[in-house]
């Protein structure tokens, strides 16, 4: 069973909830698909047993033994990745889109395209089972592809180790990496917070999960910070036929747990919020 935890925007507490879900098991695969800002490895400190490079877009590189500093490539690069720096033509690899145009137009044939192998796919053991995550190189944009690699690896590990449940911590938003995260999963949990922007993002996210016909649940995090908006979210979900899985109160200890490299379940196993999270997870598993 694959359970994806996503949110319309960052900062809703999605990763804390994923970490708490993962800590409810002794044998789980945890896939951190928030590849632009993977953070669960910081909490769970997995012992890495496999590490591979993921080739992203190519980057342009100048061979200065051939370059005459004519500046032609600067005029052609529409991503403004090439500039004069102290009188010398240089390429900023963060801005380079890998379009190859400069390598084609350089009169001296001084530019070649090289693989950007900085993206990483890592997997290993952690205290609740197996963990997989990706690290996208700075400036890399093809995070959808890396998300797919993380998910494929997680499924393979689950099969090899007879593990039934995969928890996926997804990226925020509704873009390509989120679509890659939720495609084909069994359950999607959308974490939201009670505010106007939270409501707006939730609606967009639910439109997305509806279009994929996925079993979707909503968790309202910090619901007590704005009860009026929480009620509106519940009303909206009821109207749309979406189950509100849990309403979690604001609890500063969640942040304290993260600071101490623990999930809230590990940090305060008897806390009220942990009981609510447990009930929520059981609802999904027994659905």
- The answer to whether residue 214 forms part of the interface with ligand SF4 (CB under 6 A) is no
b/e map of 199-221 (b: 16 or more CB within 10 Å)? bebbeebbebbeeeebebbbbbb
Position among 102, 182, 248, 254 found at the interface with ligand SF4 (CB under 6 A): 102
User: Residue 98 or 170: which CB sits closer to ligand SF4?
Assistant: 98
97 binds ligand SF4 (CB under 6 A): yes
For position 111 contacting ligand SF4 by CB under 6 A, the verdict is yes
Residues 147-166 that bind ligand SF4 (CB under 6 A): none
Q: Using CB under 6 A, which of 71, 175, 184, 249 touches ligand SF4?
A: 71
Minimum CB distance to ligand SF4 smaller for 112 or for 148: 112
77 binds ligand SF4 per the rule CB under 6 A: yes
Q: Among 25, 39, 48, 67, which residue interacts with ligand SF4 (rule: CB under 6 A)?
A: 67
Tell me the per-residue interface mask from 42 to 61 with ligand SF4, x by CB under 6 A, - otherwise.
------------------x-
8 Å CB contact between 61 and 91: yes
For ligand SF4, which residue of 110, 150, 220, 245 counts as binding (CB under 6 A)?
110
Query: In terms of CB distance, is 76 or 250 closer to ligand SF4?
Result: 76
What is the chain written as a DSSP string? -EEEEEESSTTSSHHHHHHHHHHT-SSEEEEE--TTS--HHHHH--EEEEEEEE--S-EEEE-TTT-----HHHHH-TT--EEEETTEEEE-TTT-----HHHHH-TT--EEEE--TTEEEEEEEETTEEEEEEEPPTT---HHHHHHHHHHHHHHHHHHTT---EEEEEEESSSHHHHHHHTT-SEEEEEE-SSHHHHHHHHHHHHHHHHTT--EEEEEETGGG-HHHHHHHHHHHHHHT-EEEEEEPP-HHHHHHHHTT--HHHH-TT-HHHHHHHHHHHHHHT-
143, 34 Cβ separation under 8 angstroms = no
**Nearer to ligand SF4 by C-beta: 11 or 107?**
107
Is 137 among the residues that bind ligand SF4 (CB under 6 A)? no
Give the position of tokens 């490079």.
53
Contact segment (CB under 6 A) with ligand SF4 among 33-41, 75-83, 114-122, 251-259 equals: 75-83
Candidates 66-74, 120-128, 195-203, 267-275: pick the segment binding ligand SF4 (CB under 6 A).
66-74
> Which of 61, 186 has the CB closer to ligand SF4?
61
- The structure tokens listed for 186 are 């069994």
6, 73, 244, 273: residue in contact with ligand SF4 (rule CB under 6 A): 73
Residue 274 touches ligand SF4, criterion: CB under 6 A: no
Minimum CB separation of residue 148 from ligand SF4 in Å reads 24
Binding site for ligand SF4 (CB under 6 A): 60, 62, 67-73, 76-77, 79, 81-82, 89, 91, 96-102, 106, 108, 110-111
């Amino acid at each position: 069973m694959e359970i994806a935890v996503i949110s319309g925007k960052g900062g809703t507490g999605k990763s804390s909830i994923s970490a708490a879900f993962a800590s409810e098991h002794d044998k789980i695969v945890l896939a951190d698909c928030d590849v632009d800002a993977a953070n669960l490895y910081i909490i769970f400190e997995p012992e890495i047993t496999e590490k591979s490079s993921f080739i992203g877009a190519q980057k342009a590189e100048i061979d200065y033994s051939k370059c005459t500093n004519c500046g032609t490539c600067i005029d052609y690069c529409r991503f403004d990745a090439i500039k004069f720096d102290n009188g010398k033509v240089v390429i900023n690899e963060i801005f380079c889109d890998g379009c190859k145009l400069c390598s084609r137009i350089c009169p001296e044939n001084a530019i070649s395209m090289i693989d950007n192998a900085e993206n990483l796919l890592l997997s290993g053991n952690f205290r609740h089972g197996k963990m997989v995550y990706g690290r996208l190189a700075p400036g890399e944009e093809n995070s959808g592809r890396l998300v797919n690699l993380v998910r494929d690896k997680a499924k393979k590990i689950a099969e090899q180790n007879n593990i039934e449940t995969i928890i996926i911590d997804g990226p925020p938003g509704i873009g390509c990496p989120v679509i890659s995260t939720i495609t084909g999963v069994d359950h999607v949990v959308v974490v939201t917070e009670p505010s106007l922007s939270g409501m707006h993002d939730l609606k967009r996210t639910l439109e997305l999960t509806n279009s994929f016909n996925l079993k979707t649940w909503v968790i309202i995090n910090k619901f007590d910070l704005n009860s009026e908006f929480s009620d509106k979210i519940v009303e909206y979900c009821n109207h749309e036929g979406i189950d509100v899985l849990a309403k979690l109160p604001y609890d500063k200890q969640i942040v304290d747990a993260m600071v101490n490299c623990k999930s809230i379940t590990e940090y305060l196993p008897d806390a009220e919020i942990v009981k609510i999270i447990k009930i929520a997870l059981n609802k999904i598993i027994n659905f």
